[in-house]
Chain A
């Protein structure tokens, strides 16, 4: 029988898991040794933060983390808004609205994010007179918004037609139906896919370091350029992203279980 339920991990699974991790570490250590790389782990903590006279001073990596959080936070809100509006346009009866939404989606999904970032930075930013951080937020929002819109659209169309008919038969307008009946139900359904989209957003945000926005990745690159601690720093930067994304996923599944106890 095919079971979709994950089986509980056995002792054998755990041993295998530990062996794999140990193997990876060995591989890296061996490789580093062969390259003659000398580790400087003791130097690393101060790039995160240090105590001076008993006061905590954030290091460049922590400052970068704050920038990353800021950029992804704003982008997430903006991307969700763009996504929702685009989804509503695509589902609207206005043919102009539908065409506009389609054009936006096709352009965003069929060009590389890096090119979009450069386009906004080198072409649009000077025209609109906006700064680097704003450009970064705009680029990420437009990009993730296209994917968010697909998620919203799927969520909205998954709501039973009978819900619309009940609304209409009670005299609600389309807008009222969306606001009070359709969206509240659809939004609950999109929490899981939107979480993975938010995780993508965090990861994709590393690309803004290419336009010299000092996020975690950019700070890492700068430190490495000065110190050549590339192995240690990339380990730490990767770990920071991992902590961010795992925290987000955990938070979202908690939300789903406790706040949105669905009745559908």
Chain B
């Protein structure tokens, strides 16, 4: 099994997370969660509301601090060393449900900011990269607009471009389409789909089962902070091992 792989192996796995525990006061948000993600793999995390999906994702780039367990990303251990945390965040992009674009900056400035500050690129280099990515996600015409002037779907695509501009090795998506009007969900999923096709390593939390089934290589099912089941996509949807998973899929499909 993948979970048994050695944590220190420099094999193809890019994310090793083992025995993660996380509490919020008395609430056990993550209860001994372990996942591994291979390079180029798309891991989809599903589960009922409050099951700990976001928490798991946010622990992977240190937005939440784990109580115990171990996280190694691309050979770098996420620990108390600030420099490690920063190095990991540089390699891990994240897309949020609420976009979190910078409202005081234009689209172009949003995409350029971290490139310049963190990657040390010149405005020229950053802008070149930004144009490329904004074109790719289909908002190349909006460079000088402010986020408020865009639709939700456009904002989310800018947010994806902003994360991609850092040339991350891994992308985390936390319900990237949940805040969108139905007619805009498709355009964002299209962008994610093409990213997956290009071989981007992705961890995706979503309620879009069709997308999970189509794009996900592997599915993790969570409930009450625990990983109930993880399996290859087809196997997971066609022949789920746990009764709880079958119940969940019946409800949601």
Contact = CB atoms under 8 A, between A and B. Distances in A.
A184 interface: yes
A185 B104 CA distance: 7
Interface in A171-221: 171-173, 176, 180-181, 184-185, 188
Interface residues of B, number: 28
Contacts of B163: 169-170
A123 interface: no
Interface stretch (B38-46, B93-101, B121-129): B93-101
Contacts of A169: 61, 63, 89, 92-94, 96, 163, 172
Nearest to B98: A162
A264 interface: yes
A263 B103 CA distance: 6
A255 B249 CA distance: 56
A92 B61 CA distance: 21
B89 A264 contact: no
B90 interface: yes
Interface stretch (B14-22, B70-78, B112-120, B203-211): B112-120
A188 B104 CA distance: 10
Contacts of B148: 263
5 contacts: A163-B102, A165-B96, A169-B89, A170-B113, A264-B104
Q: Which 4 A-B pairs have the closest CB atoms?
A: A170-B114, A169-B94, A166-B100, A162-B100
Given A169-B89, A172-B113, A181-B102, 19 more contacts: A162-B96, A162-B98, A166-B102, A166-B159, A169-B92, A169-B93, A169-B96, A169-B163, A170-B93, A170-B163, A171-B89, A173-B86, A176-B118, A180-B113, A181-B104, A185-B102, A263-B147, A263-B148, A264-B103
